[in-house]
Structures are given as structure tokens and as C-alpha cells.
Structure 1
Amino acid sequence: MSDRDDIAERLAELAAAIDARDWESVRAAFLPNAHGYRKDGAEAIVRQISDHLGACGPTQHLLGNHRITVDGDTARSLTYARVHHSGAGAMAGKFFECMGEYDDRWVRTPEGWRLSSRVFDMRIFLGDFGVFGPAES
């Protein structure tokens, strides 16, 4: 598999892990000192995502238009995303959908490509942002 194909596969695996709420796989996608979702460190990134989606129902991250450039043991990927978030509980029947582009920086490690940085540029959004929030205790 080429580096480009491997990174595209890592992107798909991360999207599926977020949708499955597989936090161990999400954590493994990032370097321990990564920056993403306005947080520093893999633990803080996972906590941010899990808190954000805690009250949310099912989600689906659709990715496409991958532009991946590899330079030795580092890489950058720009990926379009369309993400649907279904409401749950009191927000059942509501949704929030956003479209934009992930700007990801990668580092090759002995375990494979890992994210060192992730930024999502949300360009279009529809629905009710109220579907998000921490899970109720």
C-alpha cells in the first residue's frame, strides 16, 4: 500500500471510530502530543470529542476529495467532510449537519501514520447545534 493509500485508510478508520465511539481507536490515531479540536494532547482531544458527542445520537462522517502530500516521514492531507449528527433524548428528531474540510498533519511512526495536528474548517452547517453536549449522568 502506498503512503497516500495508507493515510486515506487511516482517515476512514478514524471517522468510523468516532462514529462507533471507539475512544481507544480515536486516541491511537493521534500522537500523544498532538493538537486537534482546539486541544493539546491525545487524551484531551479524545475527551473533547467524547464530551461533544456525549448527548448526541448516531453520527456519520463521510469523507472525500482527499489531497494527500507526503514528504519523507511527514504528510499533509486535506479532506472534505460531511458529518451528520442525530439528536437523542429530548433532541430526538433534530439533527446538526456540517460540511467542511479537515486539514491534517501526519507523522510516520513505527506503528504507522499518526496525526500530529487536525483542524476542521466548517463551511456549511444546518440544523440544531443543541444536539451536542456531554452525556447526562
Structure 2
Amino acid sequence: MTAREEIVERLAELATAIDARDWTAVAAAFLPDAHGYSRDGVEAIVRQMRDHLDGCGPTQHLLGNHRVAVDGDTARSLTYARVHHVGAGPMAGRFFECMGEYDDRWVRTPGGWRLSSRTFDMRIVLGDFAVLRPA
């Protein structure tokens, strides 16, 4: 696979891991000192994600319009995302959906491409943000 193909595959793996709540796989996608979701360090990044998703019902991250620029052992990808969250427990029957763009920075490691930075620019928001909650 080309570096671009590897990064697009990593993006799909990460989206699948998030939807499966496979926090070990999510953590493995990031460098230990990564910055993401307004947090520093992989543990804080995963904690932030869990605080939003552990009390939420099923989710689906759909990705597309991948633009990947590789420069040696670093890369940047810009990826459209449409993310649907189903409410659970007291939020059953509600939903939260957001659409936007991931801006990811990557580093090639001996184990493959890993994220050094991730931001998500939410451009469209539908439903009830309170669907996102800790367990």
C-alpha cells in the first residue's frame, strides 16, 4: 500500500474502534504525547472520548473526501465526517449528529502511521448534544 492508502485505512480502523468502544485500539492510533480533542496525551484524549461516548448508545462515523499530503515520515490528512450518535438510558429516543472535517497530523513509526494531532471542525450540528455523556 502507498502511504496515502495506509493513512486512509488507519482512519477507517480508528472510526471502527470508536464505534466499537475499543479504547485500547483507539489509544494505539495516537502517539503517547499526541494532542487531540483539546487534550494533551493519549490517556487524556481517550478519557475525553469516553466521557462523551460511554453513556451514549450506538454511533456511526462515516468518513470521506480524504485528502492526504505525505512528506517523508509525516503527513496531514483532511477528512470529512458525518457522525451519528443514538441516545441511551435517559436520552433514549434522542440523537445527536454532527458533520465536519477532521484535520489530522501523522507520524510514521515502526508500527505504522500514528496520530500526533487531531482536531474536528464541527460545521453542522443536529439534535441534542446531551446524548453525549459519560456512563
What TM bracket, shorter-length normalisation? over 0.9
Q: Mind listing any 5+ residue stretches in structure 1 that lack a counterpart?
A: none
RMSD: 0.4
Are residues 1:61 and 2:67 paired? no
Secondary structure at 1:120 match in 2: strand
TM-score (norm 2): 0.99
CA offset digits 1:69-93 (Å, max 9, x no partner): 0000000000000000000011111
| Partner Cα separation in structure 2 for residue 39 and residue 98 of structure 1 | 20
Equivalent positions of 1:75-94 (< 5 A) are 75-94=75-94
Percent identity between the two aligned chains? 79
Aligned to 1:9: 9
| Partner Cα separation in structure 1 for residue 91 and residue 72 of structure 2 | 46
Aligned to 2:132: 132
| Partner Cα separation in structure 2 for residue 125 and residue 97 of structure 1 | 6
State the number of aligned residues.
135
C-alpha deviation, 1:54, in angstroms: 1.6
CA offset digits 1:18-73 (Å, max 9, x no partner): 00000000000000000000000011101110111121000000000000000000
User: What amino acid is the match of 2:105?
Assistant: R
Secondary structure at 1:56 match in 2: coil
| Partner Cα separation in structure 1 for residue 54 and residue 25 of structure 2 | 17
| Partner Cα separation in structure 1 for residue 40 and residue 59 of structure 2 | 24
Equivalent positions of 1:14-53 (< 5 A) are 14-53=14-53
Q: Mind listing any 5+ residue stretches in structure 2 that lack a counterpart?
A: none
Aligned to 1:104: 104
Aligned to 1:117: 117
CA offset digits 1:80-112 (Å, max 9, x no partner): 000000000111110000000000000000000
